[in-house]
């Protein structure tokens, strides 16, 4: 089963290596990983996607909680959450195909961010499925280069504090 874990961690050197090493040592492949600063200047949020059974993910979460630099780990997969992926894709595109390609970009609410003589660079963000669908549509044109962020996600609404029923 696919799980999205969100970890609030201290913003210190080595935290990413420590966490990814712990997951790797237990045989987990991280499908997606994104790390960035939060609203708190000394904290970062790590969002990672792994595939595992529920009971195994619970054990992983408990192991992550034991790491000193980890403040909180939440498996947000069962919550009502918003998830996004960002992609830059460079597609081969002759001048006579630009209008056609631009229409596809607009349909996906993407944005053309660069045009060269023989290619276009496009930015698309959204769910994993939306990004994957756009990639499939671009394959016949010829994908020159592609870069994606890992998934980022937040629970909708105000998160409940531990033990609160509010």
12-23 per-position pLDDT tens digit: 999 999 988 888
Listed in sequence order, the residues at least 6 apart from 45 whose beta carbon sits closer than 8 Å to its beta carbon are 6, 7, 8, 9, 35, 36, 37, 38, 152
Shared domain for 64 and 113, answered yes or no, is no
Q: Is pLDDT above 80 for 82?
A: yes
The answer to which of 52-61, 104-113, 122-131 has the lowest mean pLDDT is 52-61
Per-residue pLDDT for 156 more than 90?
yes
* Banded model confidence at residue 163, pLDDT cuts 50, 70, 90: very low
34-79 pLDDT per residue, tens: 999 999 989 999 999 988 888 888 888 888 988 989 999 999 998 9
- Residue 44's DSSP bridge partners are 9, 37
| Same domain for 104 and 62 | no
Mean pLDDT of the chain: 91
Boundary residue ending a domain (79, 95, 115): 79
Phi, psi of 71 (to 5 degrees): -85, -45
User: Does 41 fall in a domain?
Assistant: yes
* pLDDT the model gives residue 159: 63
| The pair of three-digit structure tokens given for residue 91, joined into one six-digit string | 């597609």
Across the strands, what pairs with 49? 4, 32
Could you say which of 27, 62, 79 is where a domain stops?
A: 79
As a whole number of angstroms, the distance between CA 79 and CA 24 comes to 26
Judge residue 107's burial from the number of C-beta atoms within 10 Å of its C-beta, 0-12 exposed, 13-18 middle, 19 or more buried.
exposed
Residues 19, 46 contacting (CB under 8 angstroms): yes
* Same domain, residue pair 67 and 13: yes
Instruction: Pick from 1-5, 10-14, 52-56, 90-94 the range whose average pLDDT is largest.
Output: 90-94
Q: What is the CATH number of the domain that holds 13?
A: 3.30.70.260
Give the end of a domain, one of 37, 63, 79: 79
Domain ranges, residue 74:
2-79
159 assigned to some structural domain: no
Percent of the chain with pLDDT over 70: 95
Enter the tokens of residue 50.
Answer: 């792994």
Please tell me the pTM assigned to this model.
0.80
Q: How many domains does the chain have?
A: 2
One domain for residues 93 and 43? no
- Residues 8 and 74 occupy one common structural domain: yes
């Amino acid at each position: 089963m696919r799980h999205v874990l969100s970890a609030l961690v201290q913003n210190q050197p080595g935290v990413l290596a420590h966490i990814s090493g712990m997951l790797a040592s237990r045989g987990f492949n991280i499908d997606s990983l994104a790390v960035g600063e939060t609203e708190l200047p000394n904290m970062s949020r790590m969002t990672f996607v792994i595939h595992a059974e529920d009971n195994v993910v619970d054990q992983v979460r408990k192991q992550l909680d034991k790491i000193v630099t980890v403040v909180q780990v939440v498996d947000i997969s069962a919550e009502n959450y918003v998830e996004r992926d960002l992609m830059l894709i460079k597609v081969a595109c002759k001048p006579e195909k630009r209008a056609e390609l631009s229409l596809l970009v607009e349909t996906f609410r993407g944005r053309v961010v660069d045009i060269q003589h023989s290619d276009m660079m496009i930015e698309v963000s959204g769910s994993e499925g939306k990004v994957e669908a756009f990639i499939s549509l671009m394959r016949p044109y010829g994908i020159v280069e592609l870069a994606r962020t890992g998934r980022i996600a937040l629970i909708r609404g105000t998160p409940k504090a531990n033990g609160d029923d509010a």
